Amino acid sequence: MTGRRVIVTGVPGVGKTTVVNGALKMLEDEGVTYKSLNFGTYMFEVAKKEGVVSDRDEMRKLDREVQKRLQKEAARAMARESGNVLIDTHASVKTPRGYLPGLPEWVLRELMPDTIVLVETDEDQILMRRLSDETRTRDMEGSKGIAEHQQFNRSIGASYAMITGCTIRMVTNADHLLEQAIGDMASVLR
């Protein structure tokens, strides 16, 4: 494998994809390119083809064994990519039965990232973003639940680093400071 492999994570509504897209545009202007992959999209395409789901937001409610199989298939496909690769995903997924690791051992061993980035911000800001996003169907939870999820992501991120030996970085995507978050992300990817 040549190039860098970076995994970017964050709870739903933190704005990780917005930050990633801005950073990739900034880097492209500098001549640095990444192939941007979305782990959930890979999983969803397989699940949709199999007729398991019709809507992406149904993915977190699938049977655990189905989710594990879809994760394995997505990881294998992504591991074949070369060059600089950025993988947009979730460190964990909040399911009706509890948190499901977004990057279990079998996924990490396939992907072997150089760096995992946790995009975070204040839980009240995330709650307001979720409430105003009409393009997604999200479970309703309060600021306390969002804070718990972000803390769980930090904890599980440390275990991911123990498995792979990668570094962990934090990028804050605070309201009205998007350009700073984009610049911080770009510096991680350079």
Handedness of CA 133, 157, 103, 97 (dihedral sign): negative
Residues above pLDDT 70, as percent of the chain:
98
CB 37 within 8 A of CB 78: yes
Of 162, 156, 41, the residue nearest 102 (C-alpha): 156
Residues 6+ apart with CB under 8 A from 82: 1, 2, 3
Report phi then psi at 4, rounded to 5. Answer: -105, 150
- Express each pLDDT in 14-63 by its tens digit: 999 999 999 999 999 999 999 999 999 999 998 998 899 988 888 878 88
CB 13 within 8 A of CB 126: yes
Between 93 and 31, residue with greater pLDDT:
31
Calculate the average pLDDT of the chain. 93
CA distances from 5 to 168, 177, 184 (A): 13, 26, 17
Which tokens in the block code for residue 62?
A: 């699938």
Which tokens in the block code for residue 87?
A: 């993988």
pLDDT surpassing 90 at residue 159: yes
The position carrying tokens 């610049």 is 183
Question: d(Cα 5, Cα 25) in Å, to the nearest integer?
Answer: 17
pLDDT surpassing 80 at residue 147: yes
Q: Which domains does the chain have, with CATH numbers?
A: 5-38+83-189 (3.40.50.300)
pLDDT of residue 139: 66
Q: Which of 89-103, 126-140, 141-155 has the lowest mean pLDDT?
A: 126-140
